[in-house]
């Protein structure tokens, strides 16, 4: 599936595949899943328990899905720009230990 199609249909999976998944795949997934739940909830009547669909709730779900898609597109584009410039993700540099660093759990085991 093309990048744009995957970004529109399943934004969190597009970020995992093409972007920086560690930074924003989880919040994008929250917006996307909440959008899906809102659309389904709106189809069955929404918060006011209408006999037909609740168009306001459906519109909210579509807006949340749109926010997730735009956020994913921005995350993928910025990840592409960083790769072209040869930049690494600063979050990954901070969280991954260097090879010469000791394991903190080894220090705890030695103290016992």
Q: How far is CA 93 from the centre of its chain?
A: 20
Domain that holds residue 8: 3-111
Helix, strand and coil content of the chain, in percent to the nearest 5, comes to 75, 0, 25
pLDDT, tens digit (0-9, with 9 covering 90-100), for 97-109: 556 667 777 778 8
What CA–CA distances, in Å, run from 100 to 8, 18, 58? 43, 31, 54
Confidence of residue 29 (pLDDT cuts 50, 70, 90): very high
Closest to 31 (Cα-Cα) out of 44, 15, 14, 12: 12
- Tell me which DSSP letter residue 98 carries: P
Q: What is the pLDDT of residues 70-87, one digit of tens each?
A: 999 888 887 766 554 555
How many structural domains is the chain composed of?
1
């Amino acid at each position: 599936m093309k990048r744009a199609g995957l970004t529109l249909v399943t934004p969190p999976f597009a970020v995992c595949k093409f972007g920086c998944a560690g930074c924003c795949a989880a919040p994008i997934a929250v917006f996307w899943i909440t959008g899906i739940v809102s659309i389904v909830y709106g189809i069955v009547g929404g918060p006011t328990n209408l006999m037909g669909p609740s168009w306001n709730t459906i519109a909210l779900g579509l807006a949340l899905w749109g926010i997730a898609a735009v956020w994913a597109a921005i995350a993928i584009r910025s990840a592409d720009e960083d790769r072209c410039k040869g930049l690494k993700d600063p979050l990954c540099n901070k969280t991954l230990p260097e090879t010469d660093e000791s394991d903190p759990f080894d220090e705890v085991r030695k103290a016992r």
